[in-house]
Amino acid sequence: MSDQFQAPFYLGIDLGGTNIKAGVVDDTGRPLSSISRPTEADRGPEVGLDNLVDAGRRAVEASGLSWDQISGVGLGSPGTMDIHQGLLLDPPNLPGWVNWPIRDKLAERLGCRAVLQNDANAAAYGEYWAGAGRSAQSMVMFTLGTGIGGGIIENGRIIEGRHSHGAELGHIIIQMENGRRCSCGQFGHLEGYASATALVKRACEALDMGERSSLQAHRDAGTLTAQTINEAAEQGDSLARRLMHETARYLAIGAVCLMHTIDPDIILFGGGMIASGPRLLEEIRAHVAQIAFPVPARHTRIDYASLGGDAGFIGAAGCARLVWGSGGGGGSR
Amino acid sequence: MSDQFQAPFYLGIDLGGTNIKAGVVDDTGRPLSSISRPTEADRGPEVGLDNLVDAGRRAVEASGLSWDQISGVGLGSPGTMDIHQGLLLDPPNLPGWVNWPIRDKLAERLGCRAVLQNDANAAAYGEYWAGAGRSAQSMVMFTLGTGIGGGIIENGRIIEGRHSHGAELGHIIIQMENGRRCSCGQFGHLEGYASATALVKRACEALDMGERSSLQAHRDAGTLTAQTINEAAEQGDSLARRLMHETARYLAIGAVCLMHTIDPDIILFGGGMIASGPRLLEEIRAHVAQIAFPVPARHTRIDYASLGGDAGFIGAAGCARLVWGSGGGGGSR
């Protein structure tokens, strides 16, 4: 291992419904290793635990470090959970992993102390520590994927909430009358308008209403996704353009709600949907400039996340560092 | 002075558009004195400063303490402001008090170090320190009056925001399509639906649409207020009942947005409108139970504030204690 990395070191693991990513991260947030493997979530929590352990061991091996050089393990997981107790409650993306004491089981199997964090909080902390939020004191991040996750870092601390429901930013209500139904079953949530799933659904509704668009061919071919909608928009398809423009407006409304609540230095958008390129970001910024209060509108930086799919395990490692390393001092990193 | 009070002591001043309230507060948040006088805001900031100084001096005199027993002054003021710089920028409720370095002017005149805080943040901190939020670790408060203010306390710290726009909770967007116009000029904000001003406006609109109600007599007599609407509701007037019920729903939506963002121990409602009694609170709770995520819905306490009009100066004193006293240690109080 090169001496360019700085001790102490932490193992970060990002548990997803489909894949597990893991890596060893140094004290400045730089990964020494990065591996990925399937979660096999449907085979239940015991197999899942085996797979987490395998991912963690392979990540440490790939780093060239020995286990006694690992100061702690951070695990990011989808909720619902009890962060404080290290417990998964009943995560929709990990069906059957109910009341599962994942933190302590993982710590025991790896022989290393561990912390649990919500995956979107961990990804936000990764960006705050080592990514696009590096210069910020306070930060809000929206993670745009199948659903919409969120993370809030205020003065170096993750706002995880007293019931582990902090920063569930996909589930703020932006349309209280006749709101769209969200994947969670409630109505009018941001996620019900601006997630990748919602974007595809809105496209289908417009096509059902008879709008003519190149998106119909994608629908017929089973290739209608957030990505193909964005590509059609870039190629000038007017329905796709409108859908992307509306998406930017919805996200701007979410951003403004957080600017008028947390008032952070920076708001980041991450997740798969930002692959759609700079136009979405520009449109979000333009909407925010119109509807936020003048002072935060002028000063709040709005940007894309920069760590991509590595934000989760890097941030999870950062959560271990918050507890056992030099990251715990409120604002230091 | 009785020895039941506990040193050190702080002077809190609550600057309003109409009145100034001030009092000396002990280390446990109990007031030794409380005085009130007109602001005379329209006579400009120099006269206003004289009046703040007068209020502060009278509050110290009434406490029986000498000035060398006062450890610091906290001033709560309506914004806009730069909290860090101690500067009023251009407060709508203090017309002409523009770019006014109120903190340092006040400190100089009183011969005592001073801190500035947003008035709604100060009131929330007062409730957190010494009122209905006393048992909480994290708290969100909505202050319901002519407008809607907000305050967020997380782990003992006020979330004042990086541009002094934290917890502007009247200005979260709850209705993005065809939203009502807010007093700030934007659309769909909570304040545009649920403030006392909005409640009266909604009543007038219903009367204009021809609804028959005892409220018409109040309107004709110029006595249509949030209070008379609530009284009519209590007496069974069906329009008034509907208006109060809708108000509870709007406030519940605001509460749920904060439960899914901050996820605090407790959400408080304070300000003049809570004089309408327990029914509004019960209706807010019932709506929250229906639309919040199950875990926070079950565990988050939703209550009225308890300090009434004293929350502002008590909390302002608490802000001085946060800086110069034992309140600064993240969570302690």
Of A163, A154, A157, residue with least CA distance to B267:
A163
Triad B242, B187, B148: Cα angle to 5°:
65
CB contact under 8 A, A258 and B261: yes
- C-alpha–C-alpha distance, residues B301 and A16, integer Å: 32
Q: Which of A276, A183, A269, A181 is nearest to A234 (CA)?
A: A276
Report the 10 Å Cβ neighbour count for B201. 16
Residue B227 identity: Q
Tokens encoding A194: 């601006």
Range of weakest confidence among A7-16, A91-100, A320-329? A320-329
What token pair was written down for B64?
């029986």
Which residue, among B173, B177, B190, B258, would best test binding to A if mutated, counting the most A CBs under 10 Å from its CB?
B173
Chain B residue with CA closest to A298: the answer is: B163
**Crossing angle of the two packed helices A226-234 and A196-208, in degrees rounded to 10:** 70
Beta-carbon contacts below 8 Å between A and B:
141
CA distance A215 to chain B (A): 26
* Torsion angle of C-alpha atoms B186, A267, A264, B312, degrees rounded to 10: 40
pLDDT band, residue A330 (cuts 50/70/90): very low
CB contact under 8 A, A291 and B186: yes
Domains in chain A (CATH in brackets) are 9-126+309-328 (3.30.420.40), 136-306 (3.30.420.40)
pLDDT tens digits for range A202-248: 999 999 999 999 999 999 999 999 999 999 999 999 999 999 999 99
In this predicted structure, the answer to whether residue B330 has a pLDDT above a threshold of 80 is: no
Alpha carbon of A153: minimum distance to chain B alpha carbons (Å): 11
- Residues A274-299: tens digit of each pLDDT: 988 899 999 999 999 999 999 999 99
Query: Chain centroid to CA A292: how far?
Result: 24
Query: Which run of H or E residues covers position A9?
Result: strand A9-15
pLDDT at A172 exceeding the cut of 60:
yes
Biggest alpha carbon distance in chain A? 63
The single-letter code of the amino acid at A142 is F
Per DSSP, B96 falls in state T
Q: Give the per-residue pLDDT at A326.
A: 74
Q: What pLDDT does residue A327 have?
A: 63
pLDDT band at B2 (very low <50, low <70, confident <90, very high): low
- Nearest partner of B272 among B105, B177, B145, judged by Cα: B145
The alpha carbon of residue A54 is apart from the nearest alpha carbon of chain B, in Å, by 32
CA angle A65, A66, A71 (to 5 degrees): 90
* Cα(B166)–Cα(A235) distance, integer angstroms: 40
Q: Quote the pLDDT of residue B331.
A: 42
Peptide bond between residue B39 and the one before it cis (omega within 30 degrees of 0): no
Residues of A in contact with B137 (CB under 8 A): 162
Among B158, B114, B123, B156, residue whose Cα is nearest residue B329: B156
Identify any residues that bridge with A175 across adjacent strands, giving them in sequence order.
B175
Q: For residues A288 and B116, give the distance between their C-alpha atoms in angstroms, rounded to a whole number.
A: 28
Strand spans (E) along B26-137: 35-38, 70-77, 81-82, 87-88, 114-118
The share of chain B scoring above pLDDT 90, in percent, equals 94
Task: Round the CA-based radius of gyration of chain B to a whole number and report it.
Answer: 20
What is the model's pTM? 0.96
DSSP state of B154: E
Measure the CA–CA gap between B38 and B122, rounded to whole angstroms: 20
Facing residue for A161 by CB, picked from B174, B186, B263 = B263
**How large is the ipTM?**
0.96
d(CA B130, CA B314): 8
Going by pLDDT thresholds of 50, 70 and 90, the confidence category of residue B223 is very high
The yes-or-no verdict on residue A83 having pLDDT over 90 is yes
Tokens of residue A156, six digits: 């170096």
Please provide residue B189's backbone torsions phi and psi, each rounded to the nearest 5 degrees.
-75, 150
Q: Which residues of A touch B128 (CB under 8 A)?
A: none
Give the residue from B74, B120, B76 showing the smallest Cα distance to B322.
Answer: B74
Q: Compute the distance between CA of residue B322 and CA of residue B293 in angstroms, rounded to an integer.
A: 33
CB within 8 Å: A165 and B295: yes
Around A306, how many Cα atoms within 13 Å sit in the side-chain half-sphere?
12
The residue among A284, A298, A297 whose CA lies nearest residue A252 is A284
Contact predicate A24/A11, CB 8 Å:
yes
* CA A155 to each of CA A162, A258, A278: distance values in angstroms, whole numbers, following the listed order: 17, 16, 29
Q: Which of B88, B121, B141, B295 would you mutate first to test chain A, the one with the most A CBs within 10 A? A: B295
* Closest-approach residue (CA) in chain B for A193: B176
